[in-house]
């Protein structure tokens, strides 16, 4: 028999072993809990750091990247910053942030285009009303010019008509930039008349010296006359504005392989490389035109040229400096826009610069006499509107002691503002406004 003390000792030993096993298990559990606690703390720290980084990226997106992307729509030179942490690029987070940026940019561009289109539509309507009023004023001034013969009054009316013509040009340019049609197709006209017609719409027109090297009778097809006159006027206006008032703007009309080039050179301040590149992009007409891109106040000349070059297949180049130190602008008219007019049956305007390629004078047709030279005037002045009579009175030298310029002579000189303009205008100026309304209301393709 087993004695009681032996049983008690065995039980005590078994209890001790169980206690030791339980204690070991409890110790291991405590160690595991400690490790889990440490890992949880590390994970929480990493999660907090990730959350802080994500918050910083979102704040950077809203405070820096989105505003820069919005500014870049109007100013392409603006650089959009990248993410704060370069390692996020290509990760799901980086891809998601870039998607937000692209989506906002696309929506801003769409809304900007929509708002600008609404502004252009409103301006088209306003310029149409302004043009109609200016055309009515133009007709009234011409009726007064025909009604009264007083030289001083005639001079004043010519000056008012010239001011009205400049206002009409600005309204027409604004309408063209906003997508309006230039008007009805005109009758075929001598190309040199289109250039001098644009010249006559400008202040400081007397500084423009036109050299015509085209063959006699070189003309424009009807639908290209007004666009060429508008482009010539805008190129000359830029040259006159950005050059000293005591310098000349030189215009050369030359035949080239694929048509005709009208080259405008000024001795102004010129343009930087960036300015020239931007101007070239605008006149090319390859980019959409928004009013908000034209400055405050908007400078619409180059934008109007861009519209017309795209619509009528014309070309304008501003990439070369002028040999006079300023800017060289070249208007290229392709052969399919050229025509020919018999210079005998339909001679150009009396004061239009005669071609250097003109053959020997032919008195049969009334050219080559001294009286005709007085009638034609100098080539470096705008046309002188005079009756087609063989009078040499206008060419006589004033007597000593008399004023250099009498009122009659002043009136005749101001007549230049009319003949060049009339050569480039439609037979009925009001019909241009009617065509403009028809085009806008009918939605004809530009």
46 and 121 belong to one structural domain: no
Q: Of 48-57, 338-347, 348-357, 421-430, give the lowest mean pLDDT range.
A: 421-430
Give domain status of residue 85, yes or no: yes
Give domain status of residue 289, yes or no: yes
Residue 3 has a pLDDT of 62
Per-residue pLDDT tens over the stretch 297-346: 888 899 999 999 999 999 999 988 889 888 999 999 999 999 999 988 89
- CB within 8 Å of 263: residues ≥ 6 apart: 251, 252, 253, 254, 328, 329, 330, 331
169 and 221 belong to one structural domain: yes
What single-letter DSSP state applies at residue 395? G
Among 185-194, 299-308, 371-380, the range of highest mean pLDDT = 299-308
228 and 162 belong to one structural domain: yes
CATH of the domain at 235: 3.30.565.10
67 and 130 belong to one structural domain: no
Residue 411 has pLDDT above 50, yes or no: no
Give domain status of residue 408, yes or no: no
The residue from 29, 58, 89 where one domain ends is 89
Residue 32 has a pLDDT of 85
Among 149-153, 369-373, 385-389, the range of highest mean pLDDT = 149-153
74 and 202 belong to one structural domain: no
71 and 174 belong to one structural domain: no
Q: What's the average model confidence in pLDDT over 77-89?
A: 82
Give domain status of residue 211, yes or no: yes
Separation CA 110–CA 105 (nearest Å):
9
Q: Please provide the distance, in angstroms rounded to a whole number, between the alpha carbons at the two ends of the chain.
A: 123
72 and 117 belong to one structural domain: no
Give domain status of residue 392, yes or no: no
Residue 275 has a pLDDT of 86
12 and 58 belong to one structural domain: yes
> How many domains are contained in the chain?
2
Give domain status of residue 22, yes or no: yes
170 and 272 belong to one structural domain: yes
Give domain status of residue 427, yes or no: no
Give domain status of residue 154, yes or no: yes
238 and 179 belong to one structural domain: yes
12 and 153 belong to one structural domain: no
The residue from 74, 89, 104 where one domain ends is 89
DSSP string of 261-302, one letter each residue? EEEEE--S----HHHHHHHHHHHHT-S---GGGSTTTT--HH
52 and 129 belong to one structural domain: no
Range(s) of the domain holding residue 10: 4-89
């Amino acid at each position: 028999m087993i004695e009681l003390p032996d049983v008690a000792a065995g039980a005590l030993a078994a209890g001790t072993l169980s206690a030791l096993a339980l204690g070991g298990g409890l110790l291991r559990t405590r160690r595991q809990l400690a490790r889990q606690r440490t890992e949880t703390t590390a994970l929480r720290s990493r999660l907090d750091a990730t959350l802080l980084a994500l918050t910083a990226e979102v704040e950077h997106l809203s405070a820096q990247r989105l505003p820069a992307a919005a500014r870049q729509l109007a100013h392409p030179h603006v650089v959009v910053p990248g993410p704060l942490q370069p390692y996020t690029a290509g990760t799901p987070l980086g891809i998601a942030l870039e998607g937000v940026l692209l989506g906002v940019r696309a929506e801003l561009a769409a809304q900007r285009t929509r708002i600008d289109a609404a502004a252009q539509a409103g301006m088209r309507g306003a310029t149409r009303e302004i043009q109609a009023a200016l055309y009515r004023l133009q007709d009234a001034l011409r009726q007064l010019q025909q009604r009264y013969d007083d030289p001083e009054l005639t001079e004043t009316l010519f000056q008012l008509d010239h001011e009205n013509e400049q206002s009409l040009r600005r309204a027409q340019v604004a309408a063209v930039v906003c997508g309006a049609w230039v008007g009805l197709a005109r009758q075929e006209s001598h190309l040199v008349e289109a250039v001098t017609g644009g010249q006559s719409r400008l202040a400081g027109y007397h500084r423009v010296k036109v050299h015509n090297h085209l063959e006699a009778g070189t003309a424009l097809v009807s639908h290209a006359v007004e666009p060429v006159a508008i482009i010539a006027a805008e190129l000359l206006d830029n040259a006159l504005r950005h050059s000293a008032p005591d310098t000349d703007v030189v215009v050369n009309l030359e035949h080239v392989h694929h048509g005709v080039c009208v080259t405008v050179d000024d001795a102004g301040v010129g343009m930087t490389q960036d300015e020239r590149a931007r101007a070239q992009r605008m006149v090319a007409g390859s980019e959409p035109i928004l009013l908000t891109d034209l400055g405050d106040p908007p400078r619409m000349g180059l934008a109007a040229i861009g519209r017309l070059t795209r619509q009528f297949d014309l070309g304008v180049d501003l990439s070369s400096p002028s040999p006079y130190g300023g800017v060289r602008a070249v208007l290229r008219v392709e052969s399919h826009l050229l025509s020919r007019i018999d210079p005998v049956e339909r001679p150009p305007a009396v004061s239009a610069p005669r071609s250097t390629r003109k053959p020997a004078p032919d008195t049969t047709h009334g050219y080559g006499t001294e009286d005709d030279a007085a009638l034609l005037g100098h080539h470096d002045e705008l046309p002188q509107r005079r009756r087609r009579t063989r009078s040499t009175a206008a060419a006589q030298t004033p007597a000593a002691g008399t004023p250099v310029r009498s009122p009659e002579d002043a009136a005749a000189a101001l007549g230049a503002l009319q003949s060049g303009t009339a050569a480039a205008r439609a037979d009925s100026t009001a019909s241009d406004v009617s065509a403009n309304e028809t085009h806008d209301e009918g939605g004809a393709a530009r």
